[in-house]
Amino acid sequence: MSAPQSQVAQTKVENDRSLVVFSHLSTRHTTSPPSPDDKAPTPPLPSAYGIPSSALEEGGGLVNSDGRVWYMVSAPLETDVSAVKEIVVATESKDQGWSSFSENHGTYDVTSSWFDLTLLRDGKEVPNTRLDVQHNVHAGKEFKLHTNTIPSTHPFVKEMQKGDCITLWARALYPRWENHVQRASIAISYDVLAEDSKDEE
């Protein structure tokens, strides 16, 4: 299982609005619940991946006992949350491509691989910020792109503080369920004028 790779955040400004691309990954990655016979420890992630070493605690690193994979972590939020307009999360993924529940094939029903978002503050996950953002198509054969927009009015955004990072988790809950990730991105847009007026106060 290859480790994810972080890229430097990119920024562009259009029409007095700033869109900050926190992270974009194009590395194929697969997660599934580990086998009970798999005793191999998860190797630590190099600091080059952008994940604080203080956050690599037992059960909370790249892979833990629930089959959760920390697929992506953003750069720290550099603006006051009052200027945030929305967060856009794009994922291109599929599950294992089969299941015994043929009546659910091609739907989002009874699917056990998905993505979560959490906030990371001072190297630790902020309690009660885990957000189920997207499930895979049940027994999907092809990678499917999903884009989800989280508005500024959402509790997840309201909980954010300057300096927080956003973490994207690829999840697979039960044995034989998998989450194959082709690529993903997290972007935040904020009101440049609101941020400028905040700085002038």
pLDDT score recorded for residue 201: 59
> CA torsion 80→81→83→87, rounded to 10°?
130
Dihedral sign for Cα atoms in the order 197, 86, 182, 130: positive
> Is residue 1 domain-resident?
no
Residue 68 has what pLDDT? 61
- The answer to whether residue 132 is domain-embedded is yes
Evaluate whether residue 185 is within a structural domain.
Answer: yes
Q: Is residue 64 part of a domain?
A: yes
Residue 186 in any domain: the answer is yes
* pLDDT grade for 26, boundaries at 50, 70 and 90: very low
How far is the C-alpha of 19 from the C-alpha of 192, rounded, in Å? 10
Average pLDDT over residues 116-129: 89
**Is the pLDDT score of 28 beyond 60?**
no
Domain count, the chain: 1
CATH for 111: 2.60.120.260
Does residue 4 fall inside a structural domain? no
Q: What pLDDT, in 10s, does the model give residues 37-71?
A: 443 333 333 343 344 444 444 333 344 334 566 77
Residue 3 lies in a domain: no
In a domain, 96, yes or no: yes
Task: For residue 23, list its beta bridge partners.
Answer: 186
Q: Supply the range of the domain harboring residue 53.
A: 10-200
Q: Counting beta carbons within 10 angstroms of the beta carbon of residue 132, is it exposed (0 to 12), middle (13 to 18) or buried (19 or more)? A: exposed
